[in-house]
Chains A and B, each alone.
Chain A
């Protein structure tokens, strides 16, 4: 099977800092891959390159028959809006909008009518077990509820890949577990792949496999008997 995403030879330099140095990884359709590594190892930069948020200085990111590194900003933006979903640690919801409006937003940006978008958004809020706070603004809900709204927003467009960067980093264990369980279950049900950046092993354990990043390089560490 051809991977959904294939990154090879990625290099990214910020001033004197080499964030990525010949990094590469693949993501298959529908699989959950954890990207692990200590702080400053380059794992978030790798995620940003894979998602077309950051343009690498070298290397390529294949997605289907396209190379993201050669697409225009406008093409990348359209791709991110329609095929990718994003969940970050915090600060991703629009504070002036209600939970329902936040989840409906990506659909509206893609041209959906208000009523249809809100109906779909409501269904996702229900699936993520936060229907009761649909009319509240982000400042009025708990951290765990906010993350579940963010997950609903990432999934509402039925993306091919969800990029999640430390999605439970700001939550306590119990709420973190709940968010992860709902995120991975919903992604598996809808067939979306997930790239899950984390430094926490218990979070990575929700994935199908892990990629380790150290000093900007990716490592394969599977033990092969014999």
Chain B
């Protein structure tokens, strides 16, 4: 999540004070994690330095909280470019889970149990998001749906991995460098 770009997007509608930006951000995107003021002003000063925002007006008194910020032409171009660029699809949890599955198989622990427990945890979070979705407005629904689809993708991977554990264990044991923790420790170049 690019905080700078999000601020630029919020400023494009109208000039705002730092506290106003923080409040709007927390309402729209913050959920359970309100933005610290330090981060708000650090981000604004970076945008200011890069010429993407300018100080629109200053109320008497001094200090950063007295300044009202407005987006510049360069800022508008920047936010438009960011909005137009697709995000890199991230592999989220898979790399961690993959490592755990390999280690479980290599150390003779139950990889199936590990995957079952992980699935249960995924489902618990999915139930929570579903409840939030049912109680929420359309914005909540869209945000929760996004998270739900991602969790579901993880779960499909868990399911498939679960179904292929025997095959995977056989592959691992056939690899000399990975046949046991002690040999794998010295096996890689």
Q: How far is the CB of B125 from chain A (nearest CB, A)?
A: 9
Choose among A205, A208, A223 the residue that contacts B129 (Cβ–Cβ < 8 A).
A205
Query: Which chain B residues lie closer than 8 Å to A185 at the CB level?
Result: 134
Q: B127 contacts A205, CB within 8 Å?
A: yes
Q: A219 contacts B163, CB within 8 Å?
A: no
Q: How far is the CB of B143 from chain A (nearest CB, A)?
A: 15
- A210's nearest neighbour on chain B, judged by CB, is B123
A203 to B61, CA, bound (A): 56
Q: B122 contacts A201, CB within 8 Å?
A: yes
- B118's nearest neighbour on chain A, judged by CB, is A223
Query: Which chain B residues lie closer than 8 Å to A208 at the CB level?
Result: 127
- A206's nearest neighbour on chain B, judged by CB, is B130
Q: A201 contacts B126, CB within 8 Å?
A: yes
Interface: B12 (CB within 8 A): no
Choose among A181, A200, A221 the residue that contacts B134 (Cβ–Cβ < 8 A).
A181
Within 8 A of B (CB), among A171-192: 181, 185
- Residue among A201, A204, A207, A223 having the largest count of chain B Cβ atoms under 10 Å: A201
| Contact string against A for B residues 100-135, beta-carbon threshold 8 Å, 1 for contact and 0 otherwise | 000000000000000011011111001101100010
Q: B130 contacts A223, CB within 8 Å?
A: no
Q: B134 contacts A223, CB within 8 Å?
A: no
Q: How far is the CB of A150 from chain B (nearest CB, A)?
A: 21
Interface: B79 (CB within 8 A): no
- Residue among A38, A212, A221, A222 having the largest count of chain B Cβ atoms under 10 Å: A221
Interface: B166 (CB within 8 A): no
Q: B127 contacts A207, CB within 8 Å?
A: yes
Q: A205 contacts B121, CB within 8 Å?
A: no
How many residues on the B side are at the interface (Cβ–Cβ under 8 A)?
20
- B158's nearest neighbour on chain A, judged by CB, is A201
Q: How far is the CB of B128 from chain A (nearest CB, A)?
A: 9
A150 to B116, CA, bound (A): 33
Interface: A115 (CB within 8 A): no
Q: B116 contacts A212, CB within 8 Å?
A: yes
A212 to B162, CA, bound (A): 13
Q: A219 contacts B116, CB within 8 Å?
A: yes
Interface: A74 (CB within 8 A): no
Q: A223 contacts B127, CB within 8 Å?
A: no
Q: B123 contacts A202, CB within 8 Å?
A: no
Interface: B155 (CB within 8 A): yes
Query: Which chain A residues lie closer than 8 Å to B26 at the CB level?
Result: none
Query: Which chain B residues lie closer than 8 Å to A38 at the CB level?
Result: 159, 163
Q: B127 contacts A221, CB within 8 Å?
A: no
Choose among A205, A219, A221, A223 the residue that contacts B148 (Cβ–Cβ < 8 A).
A205
Interface: B140 (CB within 8 A): no
Interface: B152 (CB within 8 A): yes
Q: A205 contacts B130, CB within 8 Å?
A: yes
Query: Which chain A residues lie closer than 8 Å to B123 at the CB level?
Result: 201, 204-205, 210
Can you report 11 residue pairs joining A to B where beta carbons are below 8 Å apart?
Answer: A185-B134, A201-B151, A201-B152, A202-B130, A204-B123, A205-B126, A205-B127, A206-B130, A221-B119, A222-B120, A223-B121
Taking A205-B129, A205-B148, A223-B121 as known contacts, 20 extra A-B pairs with beta carbons closer than 8 A to each other, sorted by chain A number, are A38-B159, A38-B163, A181-B134, A201-B152, A201-B155, A201-B156, A202-B130, A202-B148, A204-B123, A204-B126, A205-B123, A207-B127, A208-B127, A210-B123, A212-B119, A219-B116, A221-B117, A221-B119, A223-B117, A223-B120
Residues on A lying within 8 angstroms of B by beta carbon are 38, 181, 185, 200-202, 204-208, 210, 212, 219, 221-223
